[in-house]
């Protein structure tokens, strides 16, 4: 049995148990009339679960018209190559700056391997997606699923090729990683290399808040109400987090020393969520901010 939670009529959240952790990585299944869509796919390892979930919901494979990817990081879109083979009508919606990596994932895979080291097997793999199955998005663009409008919103900051997806009729906003991680009711920063950018993140958060969403649907993990407040709080968290890394860098003078100092700081350790057992994500998030600070100086 797939681990499916019904959020409303026509919207489900599938827990992919990413990295073996419950309620950490999700895939949303949307149905409107005879048409269905996915938001995110999880890693390629989650593809069989997604197919199982569709079957349990009685959604035919050829009813899935769209696969919305917030970005191409493997925990969000790694399974898309696998799924387009099984879902014959599905087109993959992704930012045009990420589309090339979906067609040829070689560089993406090698950069993930470099970033995550021995954890790489947990990220699965990525099969190439034929270019004609991809809908590249450059600016805001509205898609139709049955009678439902879904608007792709460019939302750089976590990555330059990030998109959020907004459903005006319901006020639902699929945030990917643009609004942080929301795990067990707590917000956590996600600021990975190579392209985390504070200013662009803050601009994105303001743009998203201005749309007046009612509920945020986090990939990590699930719905968060009080959407405006959550977006504002994440902006504050990012400012604090970037400032924390900047002052460690200033007092220790070098990135590696700053990293070690931060990993010994109890306030910083509170930014590691329960899924980050060996602090690998925390390190990655610190390195992402260090990279941003270096680019800002340079």
Which C-beta is closer to Zn ion: that of 75 or that of 197? 75
Q: How many Cα atoms occupy the beta-carbon half-sphere of 133 within 13 Å?
A: 24
Residues in contact with Zn ion, total (CB under 5 A)?
2
User: Could you tell me which residues are beta bridge partners of residue 8?
Assistant: 11
40, 65, 75, 197: residue in contact with Zn ion (rule CB under 5 A): 75
Backbone angles phi, psi at 190, to 5 degrees: -135, 105
Round to whole Å and give the CA distance between 216 and 22. Answer: 19
Which C-beta is closer to Zn ion: that of 91 or that of 273? 273
**Binding string, 90-109, against Zn ion, x = CB under 5 A?**
--------------------
Least Å from the CB of residue 83 to Zn ion: 18
Give the β-pairing of 186-188 and 148-154. Answer: unpaired
User: How buried is residue 132: exposed, middle or buried, by Cβ count under 10 Å (0-12/13-18/19+)?
Assistant: exposed
Which C-beta is closer to Zn ion: that of 35 or that of 179? 179
Which C-beta is closer to Zn ion: that of 83 or that of 178? 178
Nearest to 121 by CA among 113, 132, 110, 129: 113
Which C-beta is closer to Zn ion: that of 159 or that of 245? 159
82 near Zn ion, rule: CB under 5 A: no
Round to whole Å and give the CA distance between 156 and 179. Answer: 11
**Binding string, 158-197, against Zn ion, x = CB under 5 A?**
-------------------x--------------------
Least Å from the CB of residue 179 to Zn ion: 11
First to last CA, the chain: 52
Place of tokens 């020393």: 257
Least Å from the CB of residue 162 to Zn ion: 10
Site for Zn ion in 125-144 (CB under 5 A): none
Round to whole Å and give the CA distance between 55 and 38. Answer: 13
Which C-beta is closer to Zn ion: that of 93 or that of 258? 93
Least Å from the CB of residue 278 to Zn ion: 17
46 near 4, Cβ under 8 Å? no
Least Å from the CB of residue 24 to Zn ion: 10
72 near 102, Cβ under 8 Å? yes
147 near 140, Cβ under 8 Å? no
Q: How many Cα atoms occupy the beta-carbon half-sphere of 43 within 13 Å?
A: 18
134 near 92, Cβ under 8 Å? yes
Least Å from the CB of residue 149 to Zn ion: 25
User: Could you tell me which residues are beta bridge partners of residue 141?
Assistant: 152
Least Å from the CB of residue 70 to Zn ion: 8
Which C-beta is closer to Zn ion: that of 177 or that of 276? 177
Which C-beta is closer to Zn ion: that of 181 or that of 258? 181
Nearest to 19 by CA among 156, 167, 135, 123: 123
Least Å from the CB of residue 260 to Zn ion: 25
- Can you give the binding site for Zn ion, defined by CB under 5 A? 75, 177
């Amino acid at each position: 049995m797939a681990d499916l939670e019904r959020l409303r009529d026509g919207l489900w959240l599938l827990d992919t148990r990413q990295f073996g952790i419950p309620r950490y990585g999700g895939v949303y299944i949307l149905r409107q009339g005879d048409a269905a869509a996915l938001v995110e796919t999880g890693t390629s390892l989650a593809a069989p679960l997604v197919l199982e979930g569709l079957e349990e919901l009685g959604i035919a494979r050829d009813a899935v018209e769209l696969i919305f990817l917030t970005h191409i990081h493997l925990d969000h879109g790694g399974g898309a190559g696998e799924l387009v083979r099984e879902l014959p009508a599905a087109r993959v919606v992704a930012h045009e700056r990420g589309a090339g990596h979906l067609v040829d994932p070689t560089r993406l895979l090698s950069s993930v391997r470099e970033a995550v080291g021995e954890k790489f097997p947990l990220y699965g793999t990525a099969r190439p997606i034929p270019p004609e199955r991809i809908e590249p998005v450059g600016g805001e663009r509205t898609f139709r699923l049955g009678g439902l409008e879904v608007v792709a919103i460019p939302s750089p900051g976590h990555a330059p090729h990030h998109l959020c997806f907004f459903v005006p009729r319901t006020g639902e906003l699929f945030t990917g990683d643009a609004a942080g991680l929301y795990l067990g009711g707590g917000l956590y920063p996600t600021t990975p290399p190579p392209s985390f950018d504070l200013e662009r993140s803050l601009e994105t958060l303001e743009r998203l808040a201005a749309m007046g969403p009612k509920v945020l649907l986090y990939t990590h993990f699930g719905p968060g109400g009080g959407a405006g407040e959550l977006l504002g709080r994440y902006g504050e968290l990012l400012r604090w987090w970037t400032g924390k890394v900047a002052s460690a860098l200033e007092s220790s003078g070098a990135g590696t020393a700053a990293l070690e100092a931060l990993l010994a700081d109890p306030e910083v350790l509170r930014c590691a969520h329960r899924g980050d057992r060996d602090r690998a994500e925390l390190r990655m998030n610190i390195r992402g901010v260090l990279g941003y600070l270096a680019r800002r100086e340079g």
